[in-house]
Structure 1
Amino acid sequence: MSGAHGRRERPPAPEPLPAPTVDAHTHLDACGCEDAADVVAAMDRAAAVGVTRAVTIADDLAAARWAVQAAHWDERVTAAVALHPTRTAAVPEEWFAEIERLAGDPRVVAVGETGLDYYWDHSPPAAQQEWFRRHIDLAKRIGKPLMIHDRDAHEDVLRILREEGPPETVVFHCFSGDAAMARECAAAGYVLSFAGPVTFRNARDLQEAAVVVPEEQLLVETDAPFLTPHPHRGRANEPYCLPWTVRGLAALRGVTDERLATSARRNAERIFGLADVPPAAHPWTGGTDGARSA
């Protein structure tokens, strides 16, 4: 996952936020991070602008192994593990068995990202739906939030959640619906996380959705290295870029940057149980043993 995305030019650092916040969804490996030193450097860049914690997300088995390692390299990083819907065309049972094992790590705070993606045709809808149901079951069994990827599949995602019965906590990462869907999700108790697209000039439906979400059900994220917010759309994204999304959301909702950053941080701490996450097992201190070993 690292490579081309990590080589794109990064924007200059934004003005620091007036209060700390949390990047609820990023892909540090795809940002070009390979080892512990890279993870620490990325989080140092983020902390310098007020992004003090991040959840790094897996989308396949190798990324899940790496994400758990990363969560043990830096206290500011926690992880989520799952098989992305576009990776579900042919899943050996032993892969999912290992995802289950990794999901039990105490520094894994969510099952994700899972869900449905009808934009790409990498996996047939039937396979995506089967594995989405299995991830829902896993999240319920281990008592961790479910982090959903929903692209061009709103109706089926909501239907399957109703049919299976949702876990206690459901997070729609990079929410992409309109205001009507946002209201439906909020009424169901789901959490909506907003990324760079909410700052795009042509995202009127999404911006209207962002306004109606209750404050206690809102998160912010980068989805880095993808979806870099305005005014740097198209350049490399990283957790340190989150302030642009925070400020865009705050302006839409008519609140201060400090209030938006603070509420998003408190929500992330509550939703992911960050206060209860045990210390990292292998924090990096500048040695040479932090190489990637997925």
Structure 2
Amino acid sequence: MSADKQRREPPPIPEPLGPLVDAHTHLDACGAEDADGVRDILDRAGAAGVRAVVTIADDLESARWAAEAADWDPRVYAAVALHPTRANALTAEARTVIERLAQHPRVVAIGETGMDLYWPGRLDGCAEPDEQREAFAWHIDLAKRTGKPLMIHNRDADAAVLDVLRAEGAPETVIFHCFSSDAAMARACIDQGWLLSLSGTVSFKNARDLREAAALIPDGQLLVETDAPFLTPHPYRGAPNEPYCLPYTVRALADLLGRPAEELAELTSATAVRTYGLAGCWT
């Protein structure tokens, strides 16, 4: 078998660790098309100790799908928004749809929204920075109006994201999904009481700035996620990712911090339950 083919093989289900909450995943992009597909993914996740997931929208179609999927399985919750790169699709009609979906009781966050300064100029049709800022501000307001956490996508845009949050006023709860910045940005977020969610990138040995930042995050501000099907943790980088892979990331983080993986599983789960209001899934 070639090395390329090996990298494409799904990772084995790890030894169970948990209970865990996958704070950010994309079940539709993982291949789930219907209730049966969602159940299969959550059954595999359950075998690894992952008890609940928050599936995230990045366009209008996936926002509708995520809210519907949250009704298919009690282990699934949703977040709705337009991804920053699609901010130019935030028409009046799209705003109406997202506002309606945000009222769903199993939609537990507004996201992912924010700023992405990597893709403009590289990706055809990508929203320009001014369009992203306008959409980000609108999503911030929606999070305030609904009282739900704001989930931020930030790629190469630390200063821009902080600028918009200062200008608009941050909602009560802010989550930086797949936090990938350095220690200075981590301190800025921590000082504001915002939450930082770590993905498989924290297991990458070359992610030195991120790994330094991870050591600064207080227990009550730490979440873990897969961002599946992306960012599969070491040693399966490049393979398809799913929520069941979350224990690989938690164990890598535990090794980095010199703490028991079970302890990190417990504290990140408690933080996710509190942040997203998932108490029902723990009873």
* TM-score in same-fold range (> 0.5): yes
CA deviation vs aligned residue, 1:28-86 (integer Å, no higher than 9, x gap) = 00000000001001000001011110000000000000001110000000000000000
- Partner of residue 5, structure 2: none
Q: Distance in 1 between matches of 2:65 and 2:197?
A: 23
Structure 1 residue 102 displacement after superposition = 0.2
Q: Distance in 1 between matches of 2:90 and 2:262?
A: 44
Distance 1:9 1:149, change over 3 A: same
After the TM superposition, which segments of 4 or more aligned residues of structure 1 sit over 3 Å from their partners?
none
TM-score normalised according to structure 1 size: 0.90
The SS at the match of 2:188 is helix
The match for 2:183 among 179, 183, 190 is 179
Q: Distance in 2 between matches of 1:148 and 1:73?
A: 26
- Partner of residue 69, structure 2: 70
Q: Distance in 2 between matches of 1:80 and 1:212?
A: 27
| Matches for 1:134-153 after TM superposition, within 5 Å | 134-153=138-157
- Where does structure 1 lack aligned partners over 5 or more consecutive residues? 1-7, 278-294
Structure 1 residue 90 displacement after superposition = 3.8
2:238 equivalent to 1:239: no
The match for 2:137 among 122, 133, 137 is 133
The match for 2:211 among 204, 207, 210 is 207
The match for 2:272 among 259, 268, 275 is 268
- Partner of residue 10, structure 2: 10
Q: Distance in 2 between matches of 1:91 and 1:46?
A: 33
| Matches for 1:37-76 after TM superposition, within 5 Å | 37-76=36-75
What is the percentage of aligned positions where both structures have the same residue?
64
2:162 equivalent to 1:163: no
Letter paired with 1:78: Y
TM-score normalised according to structure 2 size: 0.94
Paired residue total: 270
Q: Distance in 1 between matches of 2:224 and 2:239?
A: 19
The match for 2:254 among 250, 257, 265 is 250
Letter paired with 2:127: S
Q: Distance in 1 between matches of 2:167 and 2:114?
A: 14
- Partner of residue 114, structure 1: 113
Structure 1 residue 169 displacement after superposition = 0.2
- Partner of residue 282, structure 1: none
Structure 1 residue 276 displacement after superposition = 5.7
- Where does structure 2 lack aligned partners over 5 or more consecutive residues? 1-7, 121-125
The SS at the match of 2:231 is coil
The SS at the match of 2:215 is helix
- Partner of residue 3, structure 2: none
Structure 1 residue 255 displacement after superposition = 1.1
